[in-house]
Amino acid sequence: MTSSQPKVQLSDDEWRKKLNPQEFDVLRRAGTERPFTGEYTDTKTAGVYQCRACGAELFRSTEKFESHCGWPSFFDPADSDAVILRPDHSMGAIRTEVLCANCHSHLGHVFEGEGYPTPTDQRYCINSISLRLVPASS
């Protein structure tokens, strides 16, 4: 369910100034990066994953797991209000899109019931380009 208005609201021109063309395509136009090409697909660095568009905390490394699907996978967002889920009927399939609750940027999709050994049986399949990892302090 998408809330009515994001907290961060910018025009397309303002987003284009803030994001590079690839970031804009994924975050603002619901594009997808190619599998196994994202910078966070295989990272094991401890830290917090923020929205690349607005800096909101979305996921933590403690909820990241190896799904071998080609994109970073998480079994739960950092906070239940960090993301918004909405139906996505594009590409001839019914999927659930994941958006940043703060700026409504596209992050990826969430899938359920795939049998991964996680506490939620969910896989938040997120584009690396939608995220920025802030490593934990030593």
Closest CA to 130 of 97, 108, 102: 108
Count CB neighbours of 65 within 10 A.
Answer: 15
| Cβ–Cβ under 8 Å, residues 51 and 108 | no
d(CA 23, CA 131): 10
- With contact defined as beta carbons under 8 Å apart, do 9 and 105 qualify? no
Element (DSSP H or E) covering residue 5:
none
- Dihedral, CA atoms, 54, 59, 65, 67, nearest 10 degrees? -50
Active-site entry in 51, 100, 103, 125: 125
Check if 125 is active-site: yes
Question: Which residues form the catalytic set?
Answer: 125
